[in-house]
């Protein structure tokens, strides 16, 4: 697996490069946003680790440019900007995860693994399977082990969104946009209500609450 690390703190960049290579990854590095963007657009990477405060081009602008080009590379923000509004802004602009400095190296490695699993999950246009849970989207039916669970259209759409973004934090605002649409009369409390419905029907611990932000579907529930 090949990673791109865009980090302007030289000592941190060097330490992370050693850590990631010891973990078995191939790592390229960039010390400024413009160089990092050029590398991201011209080389294949499995995950990009991106700082927000960078010279020449800040991390948020790098992220926006990558997503504008329709590149779907998983991107993890690694930053000292820890305000809830900063996290929401990063996730809404297309980041797949957001980790605050200082951080535990074990958590960084676990989050990278979670992002990599997103590209390896078993999925078709109408079916997605993670662990022992399978969702048949068109039929609105979930299968957990040998148990079949009927879902409403909204419940199936919400579960599909979460499962297709396993390990990724999905903000409540994004859920509202994707499931209910801009013109809906529904409010943000509908998201919490339908998450409750899913948890009650499925009886699984995978749907995690990210306090003040939204929800995520975690494949490994013991991490």
d(CA 193, CA 90): 25
Q: Measure Cα distances from 172 to 127, 169, 194 in Å.
A: 24, 10, 11
Residues whose CB falls within 8 Å of the CB of residue 146, separated by 6 or more in sequence, listed in order: none
pTM given for the model: 0.59
* Cα separations in angstroms, 189 against 58, 87, 176, 196: 34, 20, 10, 11
The burial of 33, by beta-carbon neighbours within 10 Å (0-12 exposed, 13-18 middle, 19 or more buried), is given as buried
Distance CA 39, CA 45 (A): 9
Share of the chain above pLDDT 70, in %: 94
- pLDDT of amino acid 67: 86
pLDDT of residue 31: 96
What is the Cα–Cα distance from 61 to 103, expressed in whole angstroms?
23
What is the model's pLDDT at position 138? 75
| Cβ 168 vs Cβ 94: under 8 Å | no
- The pLDDT tens digits of the residues spanning 159-207 come to 998 998 888 888 888 888 888 876 777 888 999 999 999 999 999 999 9
Provide the 10 A C-beta neighbour count for residue 62: 27
| Residues 159, 151 contacting (CB under 8 angstroms) | yes
Instruction: Work out the angle at residue 222's Cα, subtended by the Cα atoms of residues 7 and 188, and round it to the nearest 5 degrees.
Output: 75
Instruction: Give yes or no for a contact between 11 and 41, defined as CB atoms under 8 angstroms apart.
Output: no
Amino acid 137: pLDDT: 82
Q: 97-100 and 170-171: which strand pairing?
A: unpaired
Residue 76: in which H helix or E strand, if any? strand 75-79
């Amino acid at each position: 697996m090949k990673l791109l690390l865009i980090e302007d703190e030289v000592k941190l960049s060097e330490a992370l490069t050693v850590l990631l290579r010891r973990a078995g990854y191939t790592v390229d590095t960039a010390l400024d946003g413009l160089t990092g963007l050029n590398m991201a657009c011209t080389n294949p990477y499995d995950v990009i680790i991106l700082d927000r405060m960078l010279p020449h081009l800040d991390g948020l602008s790098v992220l926006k440019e990558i997503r504008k080009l329709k590149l779907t590379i998983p991107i993890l923000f690694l930053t000292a900007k820890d305000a809830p509004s900063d996290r929401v802004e990063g996730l809404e602009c297309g980041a797949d995860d957001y980790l605050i400095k200082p951080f535990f190296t074990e958590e960084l490695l676990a989050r990278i693994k979670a992002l990599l699993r997103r590209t390896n999950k078993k999925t078709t246009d109408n079916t997605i399977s993670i662990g022992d849970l399978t969702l048949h989207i068109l039929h609105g039916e979930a299968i957990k082990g040998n148990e079949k669970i009927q879902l409403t259209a909204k419940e199936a759409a919400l579960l599909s969104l979460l499962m297709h973004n396993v390990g990724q934090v999905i903000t409540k605002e994004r859920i509202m946009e994707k499931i209910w649409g801009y013109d809906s009369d529904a409010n943000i409390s509908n998201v919490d209500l339908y998450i409750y419905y899913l948890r009650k029907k499925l009886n699984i611990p995978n749907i995690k609450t990210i306090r003040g932000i939204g929800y995520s579907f975690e494949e490994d529930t013991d991490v």
